[in-house]
Structure 1
Amino acid sequence: MNTVVTAEQEHRSDGDRLTDPTATRSETSFRPDIEGLRAVAVVMVVLFHAGVPGVGGGFVGVDIFFVVSGFLITGMLWRDVSTTGTVGLARFYGARARRLLPVGGLVLVVTAICSAVLLPPLQARDVLGDEIASALYVGNYRFALHGTDYLAADAPPSPFQHFWSLGVEEQFYLLWPALIIGAAWMVRRVTRRDDANAPTSATPYLLVLTLVAAASFAVSSAWTDTLPSWAFFSLPSRAWELAAGGLVALSLRGWSRLPAAAAAVAGWAGLVLLVLACTRLDETTPYPGTAALLPVLGTVLVIGAGCAAPRLGVGRGLSLSPIRAVGRVSYSWYLWHWPALLLMPALLGHPLGLLGRLGAVALSAGLAMLTLHLVENPVRFAAPLRDSASRSLALGGAITAVAVCAGLMLLAARPVPVGHGAAAADLTVTTTPAPAAAAAPAVDPHEAAVQQLTAQVHAAVTESAATLAVPSNLSPTLADAPADKPEVFVNGCVRSWLEVGAIECAAGDPLSTTTVALVGDSHAAMWDPAFESAAEQRHWQLKTLGKVTCPLLDLPLTSPYLGREYSECEQWRGEVVARLQAERPRLIVLSMSRRYGGDFGFDVYGPAWLDSLTRMVAQLRATGAAVLVLGPVPDPHSTVPTCLSAHLDDVTACSPLRPVAVNAAGVAAEAAATAAGGGQYADLTELFCTADRCPVIVGKDLVFRDDNHLTLEHALALTPVVTALADRALAPR
C-alpha cells in the first residue's frame, strides 16, 4: 500500500492517510479500509440510538472513532516530528478546523434553532446551554456534571449530547501535539542530537504513549465503578482509546511485516470482536472500564492488520465502494442523526415507533449527504483555505463565535416562562393543637384531626383542579423550581450513590425525650421540611437518614445509574437499621419512591416488595418504636416545571388523571403489608388528587419540582397534616 496518494483519493478522504514512521511526506498511502471502518462505526451508533433490536452495544461505535482518530492524528504528528523535529501546529490546527468546524457549527446552529422552536421553554433553555458548551467543545464535562446530579438523572437527553465525543476529540487535538513536541524535546535532550532531520526512533514516543494509555486505563477502570458519568464522558478516562490507535501508528512497520495469513486472521478476529461488542454489550454494562477493551482491541486488530494489506483480509470487504460511501458521510451523519431522533417527536407531537425512528435516521442520512457535498467538502478542500493555515484558523474561530452567539441570542429570544394567570391564594390548612388524652373517647381525636386536615387540603386540591392558567404568583417559579430542594439534599444528610454511613442530621429540640427518625430515599428527604416544622411545634428531636435510590427494604438492588449491583445501598441499610436499634427513637417514619422499575431488580408493589415491607416494619417495631409508612405521592409522568412552561394557559395538560398517577391497588396492598408488620400506613392520595385528576398546582403552590419530588414550599404547606399523622402514630395504642 506504499503508493502515492492521488488527487482524487485526497479529495475523497484527506484524513485516512498515514505513513510508515520511516517514510517521507510523499510516501503516504490512502487507507480505504479505514473509510469503511468509519462506516461500521457510524452504523452501529445510529442503529443503537434508533433502538433497533440486536445492537444493544452499538454505542461502541464511538470507541472505534476514538481509536481511528488516535491512529490517524498520531501518524500525522509523527510524520512531522520525524522529518522536521517539531510539529507544524498552525497547519495541523488549520486542517482540523477545516475538517470539523464547518459541519459542526452548521449542525449546532440548526439544532439550536429547532430546539428553541420545538421544545418547551424551560427545556429549550437548558438545551441552549448545552449548545454553547458544545460549541466550545467542553460539553462532555457539562454532561458529566449532569450525570452526577441524582435529581437530574431522569432528565430527558439533550439533542447535543452526542457532541460529548467531539469534545473528547478536540481536547485530544489540543493536548496530543504538546505531548509529541514534549517527547521530541526530551529525546533531543537525552540523546544530545541537535540535527532535527536525523533519523528518529519511534521507541521513546511509544514508551510515552504507553504510559499515557496505562494511566488513562487505570482512571477509566476506577471511575467506571465510582464516577460512571465522568468515566464515560471525560478525556482522562477515554485517552487510552485514542492512545491505542496512536500506538498502532507508531508501530506501523511491525504491523506491515505481518505474514499475510496472520494479518488476515488478525483483521477478521478484530471484526468479530467488534460484532460481539455491538451485540453482547448493552446499556446495563459498566462502561467504559474493561468492557471497552473489546471494541478497542477489535479496532486495533482491524487497523493493524490492514497495514499488511493481506489479499483475503477484512480490509477488502471494508474497502467496497458502498461501504466507503457510508464512511465518507459518517461525520455528518453522526452529527445529524441524534437531533433528528430527539426533535422529530416534538415536531410530530407524539413518540416515534421503530419505523418512525428509522425514518428519522433516513432523514439524517439525507442531510448528511447534502452537508458533505454542499459544506464539508467545499470548505475542506477550498484552495484559499488549504493554502493558508491562518485563514483556516480564522474560519474556525468565526464559526465557533457564530455558534456561541446563536446560542446566546436564542436564550435571549426564549425568556424564562412566567405564569400570567390570576394570583392564587396560599394553601392554608388550619392547624390543631395536640389532642388531649381522653378516657375512652367516642371518636379517636388523633384520627379525627387527620381526617379534618385532610379534608381541608382535599377541598383546596378540588378547587385548584379547575385552574387553567399558571398563577402569576406561583411559588416557586418555574425557573426556580429545579433548585427548590431541602437542605438535607446538599448538606450530606442524604447520602449520594457512593456514600455510606449515617451522619448526624438532627433538628428540632435536642433535649426532647421524643425522637422521630425520618428514613428512606429521596422521597423521605423531600418530606424533611414538613417534619422539621412539626418537630419545632411539638418539641421533638428529628433525625433524617436518607440515601438516593435506596429504599429501606431488604431487596436485591441494581443501580442503573452505576450500572452494577448497588452494594452501597445494602451497606447503608445495615448501618441505618443498626443505628435505629441502638438509638431506639419513639417514631420511625418510613418513606420511599415507588418509581423503581424492573431495571433495579424488583417490581414495586410486587410480592417481594410487599414481603420486604412487612419484615422491615416488624423489625423496626421490635426496637420499641412506632412505625409510620408514608404512601406514595402521585406520579406526574412529566417534568412538571418543563411541562407547565409549554402550557401556561392549560395546567390540566400537565395534571395526570388519578388512575394514571396513583396505583390504588398497590397502595391498598402496602397498607395491608404495613399492618401485618404492626405499623401504621398513611394513604396520601386525598392530599393530592380529586376523584378524577391530580393537579400539579394547588393554590399558588407548585406541587412538584421535577418529575417526582415535592417542592419545598408544598411540603411545608402540608406540615399540619404531617404533624397530625405523626401525632396519631405516637398515640398509645
Structure 2
Amino acid sequence: MTVRQDATLSSRHRTEHGRRPPQPGFRPDIEGLRAVAILAVVLFHAKVPGAGGGYIGVDVFFVISGFLITGLLWREVNSSGTVRLPRFYAARARRLLPASATVGVVTGIGAAVLLPPLQARSALRDGIASALYVGNYRFALQGTDYLAADTPPSLFQHYWSLGVEEQFYLLWPALIIATTWLVRHAGRRTGIDAAHSQTPYLVMLGLVAAGSFGLALVCTDTSPPWAFFSLPTRAWELAAGGLVALTAPEWHRLPALAAAIAGWGGLTLIVLTCAELNSATPYPGTAALLPVLGTVLVIGAGCAGAGAGRVLALPGLRAIGRVSYAWYLWHWPVLLLLPALVGQPDNPMSRLAAVLVSCGLAVLTLHLVENPVRFAAALRRSAAASLALGAAVTTLAVAVDLVLLALVPAPVGHGLAIAAPKILATPPSAAPSADPLDAALDAAVRQTFAQAQSAVAASADRAAVPSNLTPPLADAPADKPAVFVNGCVRSWREVGQSECATGDTTSPTTVALVGDSHAAMWNPALQRLAEQRHWRLETLGKVTCPLMDLPITSPYLGRPYTECEQWRAEIMARLRAEHPRLVVLSMSRRYGADFGFTSYDPAWIASLTRLVAQLRSTGAQVLVLGPIPDPHSTVPACLSAHLDDATACSPARTVAVNQAGIAAEEAATNRGGGHYADLTELFCTAERCPAIVGNTLVYRDDNHVTIEYAQVLAPVIGALADRASSGN
C-alpha cells in the first residue's frame, strides 16, 4: 500500500469532527490510567497523607477491565458470531496467573519464615484460597465476625480484587454467549436480524449493573464485608466499563470541547475521591459512584481522542501503568513483611522503603515473568498449552502453601506442664463487727483476690509456654463463649434482644450481665455462678455498644450507630420491666475519637454516673467491672513466636493499665450509687501483666479474656457479686 493509498483510506474513516473512528487497538491513555489507579492504592496502603480514599484505585481497575474485556468479546461476537472460549481463557491465563502465582509463592514463604506461626498458618490458608481465586469470599466470611478486626491483616488480603476479576472473566463470556443465543432465537421467530446490534448487549449489561448496584447499596448497609469483597456487589463497576465499550461510537461523536470537559472532569473526580474519602466512608455504596463515574468519563473521552489522554499517555505514567499489575501484587506483602525482615517497626520510612522495594520487584516480575509468558509464541499459538500452564502454576502455588502448612505446625508449648490455677470460694462467715455480714462479704472478696494475686505472681516470670496450655494456642481465636454466636450478643445491625436466660430460669433472682463484648466475655464466669447459686442469668450484649448514653458513630459502618442507640433504649426499658436483683455492667475501654467519644474522657465519666443512677432506679444493685489490662498484641500469635519466653507477650503494668481512668470510673460509679470492681490485681503484679496464669491462657485475642480464665475467676466475680447484691 502506498502512502497516498494509506492517506485516502484514512480520510474515508474520519468523522465529521476530523478524528479517526474508534479503533480496537492499544490505548496508551488507559495504560496511564492504570498508573493513576495503582498509585492511589499504593499510597493508601502506605498511609500517605492525602490518599485516605486510595482504595478507589481498585474501582478504577474494575471499570478498565470491564471496558477492555467487553470490547474484546463484543468484537469477536460481532465478527464471528460466537466467543472462542479456549482462546479467551488462554489469554487471561497467560496474562494473570504466572505473576500472581509467583508473588503468591514468595509471599507464602515469607509468611512461613517471618510471621509468628499462628499468624503464618492463617496467612497460608488465605494463600490457598487466593490461588484458587476465591479469597474474596474467605475474607468476606471472616469480615462478618466483628472480632476479625482485632487480628492482623492478611498478607493475601489484596488478592480479593483478583478473585472478583477472575470470577468476572468466567461469567462474562457466558452472559455474552447467552445474549447472542437469545438474539438469534428471537430473530428466527420475528424475522428481525439483530445479530450485529449492540442494543441487546446494552440491555443485558444495564440489567446486570442495576441489579448489582442495588445489591451493593443494600449490603453496604447490612453486610459491609460482602458488599466490599463479593462479585455480585462489584459487578456493576465492571458492567459500567462494558457499557462504555458498547457505546464507544457514541462517545467518539462527542464534540471536542465536550469530550475534553468529560475527560478532565473524570480525572479530577478520581483524584478528589482519592483525597476526600477515607476508611470510615461506607463502601462501596453510593460513594463508589464517584470513582466509577470518573473512570467512565476518562475512558469515554479517550474514545473521542480528547480529554486527559495526552497527560495519561505521558511516558512516565505509561511506564508505571505497565508494572501496575505486578506492583499491585507485590506492594501489600512487602509493606507487611519488610519491617519484620529488617527488624524495624512500621513507620513512614519503612513504608517508603517497602513502596520502592515492591516497585523494583514489580519491574523484575514484568520482564522476567509477565512478558516472557504473555508473548511467548508457542503459548500464543496453543490455547491448550496456555491453559495447561495456568493450571500448573495455580497447582504449584496451592501445593507450596500446603507444604508450608505442614512445615509450620500448630504451635504447642514445650515447657513443663503446670497446674491449673484454682481459686476457692470462701463462704462468708460472721466476724466480730458492727456489721458482721458486711465484714464477711469484704473478707470473701479479699480472700479470693489474694488467691488470684498469688496465682498471677507465680506466673509473672515464667518463661516457657506450658505444654498443657489451655486453651491451646491454635484454638484460642475460636475460644468464644456461646453468647457470641447464639444471638445473645447482638451484631452490628441487630436490635432487640432475645430471652437469653440461663442458669435456673425459674428462679425469682435475676442477674443481668449487660454491655458490649467485654461484658459478654464474663458470661462463662457468671454462667457457672448462676448454676451454683440458682440465679436466672440474662446476658444482654451488643458489639461495640456500651450502655452509656453517649452519641456513637460506628467506624465499621461509617455512620451514626443508630442500632446501638435503639438497643440501649430497649435494654433500659427491659431492665425497668424485669427488676433484676443485680446488674453487672462491663464494656471495652478501647473506644477512641472515631466513635465520637474516648474512654475515660469527661463525657464517658459523666455518662457512667448517669447510667449507674438509672440502673439503680430500677431497684437493682449495680456492679461495674473495671477494665482488663491491654496486652498490646494479639496474644496467641505473639506467644506462638515466643514459646520459650512468654514474658515477651506480657506487657508492663504501667503500659497495660490506665490507673487514673480506673480511679475516675470508681468515683463516678460511687456517685451513681453503684459498686465498682478494679480487676487489675486479678491480671497483674506490681510490674507485669502475664499472658498465662498457671496453665491458662489469659487472652484469646488482643482484648478479650478466654473462656477458661473467666471461669478461673468465677469465685472472685461471685464474691464481688455477693457484696454488691447485699446493698452494703
What's the TM-score bracket when you normalise by the shorter of the two chains? over 0.9
Q: Which letter does structure 2 place at the counterpart of 1:584?
A: H
Task: Choose from 293, 302, 324 the match for 2:318.
Answer: 324
Q: What corresponds to 1:266 in structure 2?
A: 262
Please report the TM-score for the alignment, with normalisation by the length of structure 1.
Answer: 0.95
1:437 shift after superposition: 9.6
Q: Which letter does structure 2 place at the counterpart of 1:667?
A: I
Are 1:192 and 2:192 matched, yes or no? no
Q: Which letter does structure 1 place at the counterpart of 2:545?
A: C
Are 1:365 and 2:359 matched, yes or no? yes
Are 1:203 and 2:199 matched, yes or no? yes
8 Å CA contact 2:473–2:636 kept in 1: the answer is yes
More displaced 10-residue stretch of structure 1: 238-247 or 492-501: 492-501
1:535 shift after superposition: 1.5
Q: What corresponds to 1:387 in structure 2?
A: 381
Are 1:355 and 2:345 matched, yes or no? no
1:28 shift after superposition: 2.9
Task: Choose from 540, 544, 553 the match for 2:548.
Answer: 553
Are 1:679 and 2:674 matched, yes or no? yes
> Structure 2 CA distance, aligned partners of 1:376 and 1:526?
50
Q: What corresponds to 1:63 in structure 2?
A: 59
SS of alignment partner, residue 153 of structure 1: helix
Relative to structure 1, the CA distance from residue 403 to residue 193 in structure 2 (aligned partners, 3 Å threshold; closer, same or farther) is farther
8 Å CA contact 1:270–1:298 kept in 2: the answer is yes
Relative to structure 1, the CA distance from residue 437 to residue 486 in structure 2 (aligned partners, 3 Å threshold; closer, same or farther) is farther
Task: Please show how residues 176-187 of structure 1 align to structure 2 within 5 Å.
Answer: 176-187=172-183
8 Å CA contact 1:264–1:305 kept in 2: the answer is yes
Q: Which letter does structure 2 place at the counterpart of 1:302?
A: V
Deviations 1:513-565 (A, max 9, x none): 22111101111111111111111222221111111111111111111112211
Deviations 1:86-143 (A, max 9, x none): 1010000000000000100000000000111000000000000000000000000111
Q: What corresponds to 2:658 in structure 1?
A: 663
Task: Choose from 506, 527, 532 the match for 2:501.
Answer: 506
SS of alignment partner, residue 544 of structure 1: strand
8 Å CA contact 2:183–2:195 kept in 1: the answer is no
More displaced 10-residue stretch of structure 1: 164-173 or 441-450: 441-450
1:357 shift after superposition: 0.7
> Structure 1 CA distance, aligned partners of 2:214 and 2:520?
36
Q: What corresponds to 1:543 in structure 2?
A: 538
SS of alignment partner, residue 105 of structure 1: helix
Deviations 1:233-276 (A, max 9, x none): 11011000000000000001100111111111110110111111
Identical pairs, percent: 70
Q: What corresponds to 2:489 in structure 1?
A: 494
SS of alignment partner, residue 329 of structure 2: helix
Q: What corresponds to 1:13 in structure 2?
A: none
8 Å CA contact 1:82–1:197 kept in 2: the answer is no
Task: Please show how residues 628-639 of structure 1 align to structure 2 within 5 Å.
Answer: 628-639=623-634
> Structure 2 CA distance, aligned partners of 1:341 and 1:420?
33
> Structure 2 CA distance, aligned partners of 1:509 and 1:441?
31
8 Å CA contact 2:525–2:710 kept in 1: the answer is yes
Are 1:721 and 2:689 matched, yes or no? no
> Structure 2 CA distance, aligned partners of 1:169 and 1:46?
19
Q: Which letter does structure 2 place at the counterpart of 1:619?
A: Q
Q: What corresponds to 1:245 in structure 2?
A: 241
> Structure 2 CA distance, aligned partners of 1:695 and 1:231?
40
Task: Please show how residues 327-726 of structure 1 align to structure 2 within 5 Å.
Answer: 327-435=321-429, 440-441=434-435, 444-726=439-721
Deviations 1:373-423 (A, max 9, x none): 111101000000000111000000001100000110000000001000011
Please list every run of 5 or more consecutive structure 2 residues that lacks an aligned counterpart in the other structure. 4-21
Deviations 1:475-507 (A, max 9, x none): 111011111111111111111111111110112
SS of alignment partner, residue 480 of structure 1: helix
8 Å CA contact 1:83–1:197 kept in 2: the answer is no
Q: Which letter does structure 2 place at the counterpart of 1:215?
A: G
Q: What corresponds to 2:271 in structure 1?
A: 275
Relative to structure 1, the CA distance from residue 172 to residue 194 in structure 2 (aligned partners, 3 Å threshold; closer, same or farther) is farther
Q: Which letter does structure 2 place at the counterpart of 1:723?
A: G
Q: Which letter does structure 2 place at the counterpart of 1:647?
A: H
> Structure 2 CA distance, aligned partners of 1:204 and 1:359?
50
SS of alignment partner, residue 127 of structure 1: helix
Deviations 1:445-494 (A, max 9, x none): 11111011101110110010011000011111101111111111111111
Task: Choose from 121, 129, 134 the match for 2:130.
Answer: 134
Q: Report the RMSD for the aligned CA atoms in angstroms.
A: 1.7
SS of alignment partner, residue 707 of structure 1: coil
Q: Which letter does structure 2 place at the counterpart of 1:334?
A: Y
Relative to structure 1, the CA distance from residue 368 to residue 537 in structure 2 (aligned partners, 3 Å threshold; closer, same or farther) is same
SS of alignment partner, residue 507 of structure 1: strand
SS of alignment partner, residue 628 of structure 1: strand
SS of alignment partner, residue 608 of structure 1: helix
Q: What corresponds to 2:220 in structure 1?
A: 224
Relative to structure 1, the CA distance from residue 194 to residue 381 in structure 2 (aligned partners, 3 Å threshold; closer, same or farther) is farther
8 Å CA contact 1:241–1:296 kept in 2: the answer is yes
SS of alignment partner, residue 426 of structure 2: coil
> Structure 2 CA distance, aligned partners of 1:681 and 1:197?
81
SS of alignment partner, residue 344 of structure 2: coil
Q: Which letter does structure 2 place at the counterpart of 1:408?
A: L
1:27 shift after superposition: 5.9
Q: What corresponds to 2:285 in structure 1?
A: 289
SS of alignment partner, residue 109 of structure 2: helix
SS of alignment partner, residue 394 of structure 1: helix
1:433 shift after superposition: 2.2
Relative to structure 1, the CA distance from residue 405 to residue 195 in structure 2 (aligned partners, 3 Å threshold; closer, same or farther) is farther
> Structure 2 CA distance, aligned partners of 1:675 and 1:704?
29
Relative to structure 1, the CA distance from residue 137 to residue 645 in structure 2 (aligned partners, 3 Å threshold; closer, same or farther) is same
SS of alignment partner, residue 476 of structure 1: coil
8 Å CA contact 1:84–1:197 kept in 2: the answer is no
1:193 shift after superposition: 8.2
SS of alignment partner, residue 55 of structure 1: coil
8 Å CA contact 2:118–2:411 kept in 1: the answer is yes
Q: What corresponds to 2:208 in structure 1?
A: 212
SS of alignment partner, residue 291 of structure 1: helix
> Structure 2 CA distance, aligned partners of 1:335 and 1:589?
49
Deviations 1:624-664 (A, max 9, x none): 11000000011101111100000000000000100111100
Please list every run of 5 or more consecutive structure 1 residues that lacks an aligned counterpart in the other structure. 4-25
Please report the TM-score for the alignment, with normalisation by the length of structure 2.
Answer: 0.95
8 Å CA contact 1:188–1:194 kept in 2: the answer is no
Q: What corresponds to 2:104 in structure 1?
A: 108
Q: Which letter does structure 2 place at the counterpart of 1:717?
A: V
8 Å CA contact 1:277–1:295 kept in 2: the answer is yes
Task: Choose from 118, 121, 126 the match for 2:117.
Answer: 121
SS of alignment partner, residue 543 of structure 1: strand
8 Å CA contact 2:469–2:696 kept in 1: the answer is yes
Q: Which letter does structure 1 place at the counterpart of 2:627?
A: P
> Structure 2 CA distance, aligned partners of 1:145 and 1:418?
27
Relative to structure 1, the CA distance from residue 732 to residue 617 in structure 2 (aligned partners, 3 Å threshold; closer, same or farther) is closer
> Structure 2 CA distance, aligned partners of 1:159 and 1:471?
30
Relative to structure 1, the CA distance from residue 82 to residue 369 in structure 2 (aligned partners, 3 Å threshold; closer, same or farther) is same
SS of alignment partner, residue 30 of structure 1: coil
Q: Which letter does structure 2 place at the counterpart of 1:621?
A: R
Q: Which letter does structure 1 place at the counterpart of 2:247?
A: S
Q: Which letter does structure 1 place at the counterpart of 2:565?
A: E
Q: Which letter does structure 1 place at the counterpart of 2:623?
A: L
Deviations 1:167-216 (A, max 9, x none): 00000000000000000000001111899998600001001100000000
Paired residues, what number? 708
Relative to structure 1, the CA distance from residue 27 to residue 703 in structure 2 (aligned partners, 3 Å threshold; closer, same or farther) is closer
